[in-house]
Structure 1
Amino acid sequence: MGAGIAHAFLLAGSRVAIVERDGAAADAAIERVRESLRRSVERGATERPLDSLDASLSAGTDIAVFAEAGLAVEAVPEDRGLKVDALRRAEAALPAGAVLASNTSSISIDDLAASLERPERFLGLHFFNPVPASALVEVVIGSATDPAVQADAAAWVDALGKRAVVVRDSPGFASSRLGVALALEAIRMLEEGVASAADIDAAMELGYRHPVGPLRTTDLVGLDVRLGIAEELSATLGERFSPPRMLRDLVAEGHLGRKSGRGFYEWNEQ
């Protein structure tokens, strides 16, 4: 997700610095971004040559590079402790007028803001996979978010060529709450033997014009990510978001979707 966000801002003309936990992760991140940029250049998605885009990209482990940033987007895994730690360190490195955002898909923006010194400069920017192709960014407004920060965020999203959907801070926001509700019911149907994964997805794709069915979408997002969001929503919104046993079992077995080669579908040859 972080690589996709970097890709989107690079194509929009920004200079992008990626900060990772260690050198190996930084090297892997920059290679992922370079490869996706290469594909964009080959498709004609940008008029800028690859070497020009590459010159605007850096990656490392020193968060001090944020001292020159106007915006920092946190994109660590969906774990409250990890996000709080990353956000605190980023805020300490950023100039006072910069904006700090979280890419969280379910954790309360107000909850995260409570750990920050400048909550008025903080909001949620929830991107969707694959970021370069997705047309949507959810702009999540906390109770302390400065209206000027909201306006800046909407302008940035527009500059990325995407549509900003503004929502107030609430469990699961809009997209995760609706998307996870559909995905969990689809998993329960598969668990009960109502239909195959392919037929459940086809019912939503053909009957409701969803571009991708809920089970294939879950494979693309990552079953572990869906599980984490479901657990968060279950704790805040109640039993209707309780993760099905099948989802827990697949995650425990390491079947996380496309990134592991298997989820509700086999991905090795797709």
Structure 2
Amino acid sequence: MRELEAVETVGVVGAGTMGSGIAQVAAVAGYDVVMRDVKSEFVDRGFDTIRSSLDRKVNSGDLSDDDDADAAVERIEGTTELAELGEADLVVEAAVEEMEIKQDVFADLDDVTDDDVVLATNTSTLSITTIASATERPELVVGVHFMNPVPVMKGVEVVVGEKTDSEVVELAHGFSEALGKETWESDDKPGFVSNRILMPWINEGVRAYDEGVATKEDIDRGMKLGTNVPMGPLELADHIGLDVCLDATETLHEELGDRYTPAYLLKRKVDAGDLGKKTGRGFYEYD
């Protein structure tokens, strides 16, 4: 296994919301980054997202000037070829949240990267152990679950698979901290810490709204004022994406039983294509 001090180039699989965010924070921290997605337009969109995010960082004073933002972008190489991640000293996968796809990616990463390279997954609900089983190095596979949006959120959940080596766990914590994040650790149980608790909270908020307990505004306002959270459950669901919430809840339901049954209104919204901020309409409407 490569030590953290030897990590110079970080590979990122996926240039979507999570992948581009991970690539951004790694580049800002001084790492060279290879960001890969399956189509060039996805890679280009990832760069657009990164540039917009860095511009906001400059305007807010989080980055000192445009030169720092430009330098970060220049440290990122975009590609559609997975083989180009062969130069990486550490790889973080942020592909679609489907087990078969993730296992295919990890089997390919096993082939194209050096045997001592740690392979991390950003999965929010899927088993690290099952993902790792697609490789010949399950002891070098670990979960590093970044929160969305990655450049803003402070936390990273480190998830330990059945065969994950303790030194790999330490590297995952250290790498996350090198990106300016704080970490907590979870065993490889469904939903880990964050989504095992968060998804039922959102799901019950949806049920309360559907059953007429209160207006959506008062449900969110009550939770913000009553529990000091920055967003209520319906507002947060829109922010995450209702399809993402439904997928995570269905995974928890499959693994843990009826207490995680998705709310009917959540399923209806997803079927209608009202997925939250990204589609302009969820529980609320957005410009």
User: Identity of paired residues, percent?
Assistant: 40
Q: C-alpha deviations, 1:130-177, integer Å up to 9, x for none?
A: 111101100000010011111111111111111111111001000000
Distance 1:23 1:239 in 2: 41
Distance 1:132 1:50 in 2: 13
Q: 2:245 maps to what in 1?
A: 226
Aligned-pair Cα RMSD in Å: 1.2
Alignment of 1:18-167 (within 5 A): 18-47=35-64, 49-167=68-186
Q: 1:170 maps to what in 2?
A: 189
Q: After TM superposition, give the deviation of residue 111 of structure 1 in Å.
A: 1.4
Q: C-alpha deviations, 1:169-199, integer Å up to 9, x for none?
A: 0010000000001001001101101111111
Aligned partner letter, 1:227: L
Query: Which structure 1 segments of 5+ residues have no match?
Result: none
Distance 2:125 2:191 in 1: 4
Aligned partner letter, 2:235: R
Contact map agreement 2:104 2:134 (CA 8 A) in 1: no
Contact map agreement 1:76 1:83 (CA 8 A) in 2: yes
Contact map agreement 1:22 1:61 (CA 8 A) in 2: yes
Greater displacement, 122-131 / 31-40: 31-40
Aligned partner letter, 1:33: I
Q: After TM superposition, give the deviation of residue 41 of structure 1 in Å.
A: 2.7
Q: Is the partner of 2:229 in helix, strand or coil? A: coil
Q: C-alpha deviations, 1:59-98, integer Å up to 9, x for none?
A: 1101122111111111112111111112222222221111
Match 1:6 to one of 23, 27, 32: 23
Q: Is the partner of 2:251 in helix, strand or coil? A: helix
Distance 2:233 2:106 in 1: 31
Query: What is the TM-score when the length of structure 2 is the normalising length?
Result: 0.90
Instruction: Check if 1:212 corresponds to 2:256.
Output: no
Q: After TM superposition, give the deviation of residue 50 of structure 1 in Å.
A: 2.5
Contact map agreement 2:24 2:72 (CA 8 A) in 1: no
Aligned partner letter, 1:34: R
Query: Which structure 2 segments of 5+ residues have no match?
Result: 1-17
Q: 1:257 maps to what in 2?
A: 276
Distance 2:27 2:61 in 1: 15
Contact map agreement 2:63 2:69 (CA 8 A) in 1: no
Distance 2:268 2:208 in 1: 16
Tell me the matched-pair count: 268
Aligned partner letter, 1:96: D
Q: 2:33 maps to what in 1?
A: 16
Distance 1:46 1:153 in 2: 25
Greater displacement, 86-95 / 244-253: 86-95
Q: After TM superposition, give the deviation of residue 211 of structure 1 in Å.
A: 1.1
